Amino acid sequence: MGIEYRTAEDVLDDIDQIFSKLIDEHDLDNNLLERWRWGEQSTRLSWTEEDGIGRNIKALLRPDDDLRVEVQVNAWKDLDREKTEMEVNSDLPEDFELRLWRHETIEVAAADPEELQNIIHEDAFPFVQELDQDELTRQKVLE
């Protein structure tokens, strides 16, 4: 069953309002709100903190029998070879960057604005905001 476009737009609008409150309440500078309407319908709030870690919360619509929203978080930090203390493969180019990152699905929930606000404010934001570099457990070489 597909997503009703107007219903999907309403849900994405609600989530964008939740994200806007989060921006105001936590003074999130360098923030970016992005909305995808085609293919994977979603909206995402991204920001970077003084620790150099980029963070985002993504709300992805899931077109099950009932419209559901998957709330995901991501955090990442790019390090150049000179700044990393990690052992690296000597076959890598001298000027590579290493991306440390983490991705988690927080919850899949009904498209209810109150429930989504609670999940985003009380679960997703604190989880991703508190991650430090040591908790970015995945690595990818950026050449």
| Contacts for 112 with CB less than 8 Å, ≥ 6 apart | none
Q: What are phi and psi of 90, to 5 degrees?
A: -70, -15
Residue 58: its pLDDT value, please? 97
Residue 143: its pLDDT value, please? 66
**Tens digit of each residue's pLDDT (9 = 90 or more) over 84-143:** 555 555 555 666 678 899 999 999 998 899 999 999 999 999 999 999 999 999 888 776
Residue 46: its pLDDT value, please? 97
Residue 92: its pLDDT value, please? 56
Domain boundaries, the chain: 5-75+103-132
Give the count of alpha carbons within 13 A of 12, CB side only. Answer: 21
User: How many other C-beta atoms are found inside a 10 Å radius of the C-beta of residue 109?
Assistant: 17
Residue 14: its pLDDT value, please? 94
Whether pLDDT at 81 is above 60: no
Residue 116: its pLDDT value, please? 96
pTM: 0.85
* pLDDT band, very low/low/confident/very high, at 72 (cuts 50, 70, 90): very high
Q: Quick check: helix, strand or coil at residue 126? A: helix
Q: Tell me the sheet residues that pair with 69.
A: 61, 109
**Tens digit of each residue's pLDDT (9 = 90 or more) over 6-59:** 588 899 999 999 999 999 999 998 899 999 877 789 999 999 988 999 999 999
Task: Extract the tokens encoding 83.
Answer: 């700044």
How far is it, in rounded angstroms, from Cα 30 to Cα 25?
Answer: 14
CB 19 within 8 A of CB 120: yes
